[in-house]
Each structure stands twice: as C-alpha cells, then as structure tokens.
Amino acid sequence: MSEQPTTSRRVAVVTGGSRGIGRESAERLASDGFAVVVNYAGNQTEAEAAVSAIVAAGGQAIAFRADVADEAAVSALFDVAEKTYGGVDVVVHAAGVMTLAPLVDTDLDALDRMHRTNIRGTFVVDQQAARRLRDGGAIINFSSSVLSLAIPGYSAYAASKGAVEAMTLILAREMRGRDITVNAVAPGPTATALFLDGKDEETVARMAAQPPLERLGTPRDIAEVVSFLAGPARWVNGQVLRANGGIV
C-alpha cells in the first residue's frame, strides 16, 4: 500500500501493532488523528486487518514487516514511515515475547529469544527513534508490572523488562534539548493472547482478583495510557507508568 507523503498530521510507528495491546494502541492513535505505521513480525493477515480497521474508521495506516531486533529492518521501517507520511513523531514499542518457567527450569534458548526481542529489540527501535523522531515527539516503551510483583516463573521475562526500564529512564535524559519525551508503560495482568496463553481458568481468575478493581486489564485500558503519553502528557518524562488497576 502506498500513499502520498503528508505533513498534515502527526505520525506514529507502532511495533507489535497487529495484535493485542499494540493493535489497540494503533487504532487508538489513529482515532486521535495520527497516521499509523503498523509494524508486525510475521502475521501479515492480522496486520492488514488492523490497517483495514483504521482505514474503515477514517484514519490513515500502512503495515510493514520488520524484526525489531534487526537494525536494517527497523531502519527500513522508519524509511517507509518518512517516505509515506513525511516523518515520525511517536514510536510505540509494543513488540515483545514471553516464556514462563521457574529460573531453575528455564530453557536458555527461550531466554536468548526473549532477550533478543525484548532487550535488543527495544534498544534497536529506540536507537532509530532517537535519531529520527521530529522534535516534540514521544517514545513509549513497554515494561511489565511483574517487575514489582516478583511473581514466581517470571524471572527471565522480568529481567528483560528490567532492562527496558533502565533504557527508558536513561534515554529520557539523553534526549535533553529535543523536546522528546521517553516513558514506559508497565501493564499488569491484561486479557491478551500473550497473557492468557498456557494459563488455566483458576490461574486467570486468581490474577483477575488481585487488583482492587477486581478484573483483568484490557488492551483498551492500556491504549488509553499510550494515547496520554503520545499526546497531552508533555510534562511526563522519564517515567514508568504501572497501569495495573492498583496491584501493589
């Protein structure tokens, strides 16, 4: 899909934008007036469905496949955004993978895969964003509330998200003088395929009961936070927002 470059609206790149929180964030930003580049790793059908939904609602969007840990592919992703829409203002880095097991049983190949996508992927995407975002923009990474909850079985995943938080806080300070905010969203238990996969009903019900609001989060709940950080939240910078319904 090709469109003529335009500077009439702000532009967002959303990684992991074909499903779950990424897709909901892409659709929300489109409804906020952004032109959106939906990045996906492999599921072209889902990515095109996300684009179709945005366009049907009157927005602008294209899909582009890129492995977030591949610097050449991510550079090409930004090239397409700039060629199609004239620049990039907001990057929402929602792509991530999760494998759960006690530390003692964790498969090291799974550990390496999580670190490649969640740590290297964040570093690569943020590096391109830092180089190419227009002044006044925003970088929004994704961490997880499991860092503060210390749930058994999440050691490898939480370790990867700890690295995301460290990068986020430091990059915010490195962007001094650019009027670019850098924050991370740390969802709690959220009803996505990534969270629900492999969990029985009892486990899901127990985790849903943890917040004072007594339910799982939804992708829409998290997309509201993304919208806030991408738009009006210009004085929120270098922060991790734990969007988890009040779990302590």
Pairing of strands 181-185, 138-142: parallel
Q: What is the three-class DSSP state of 208? A: helix
Question: Edge-to-edge strand order for the sheet containing 60-65?
Answer: 60-65, 35-40, 11-15, 90-93, 138-142, 181-185, 240-241
Distance CA 189, CA 210 (A): 9
The conformation of residue 133, written as its DSSP 8-state character, comes to: P
| Helix or strand holding residue 51 (H, E) | helix 44-56
Q: List active site positions.
A: 157
Structure tokens at 140: 């929004």
135: phi then psi, degrees, rounded to nearest 5: -55, 145
Q: Please, how many CA atoms are within 13 Å of residue 233, restricted to the half-sphere of its CB?
A: 20
Q: Which of 196, 183, 176, 187 has the alpha carbon at shortest distance from 222?
A: 187
Cα 159 versus chain centre, distance: 17
- Contacts of 132 by beta carbon, 8 Å cutoff, 6+ apart: 78, 82, 88
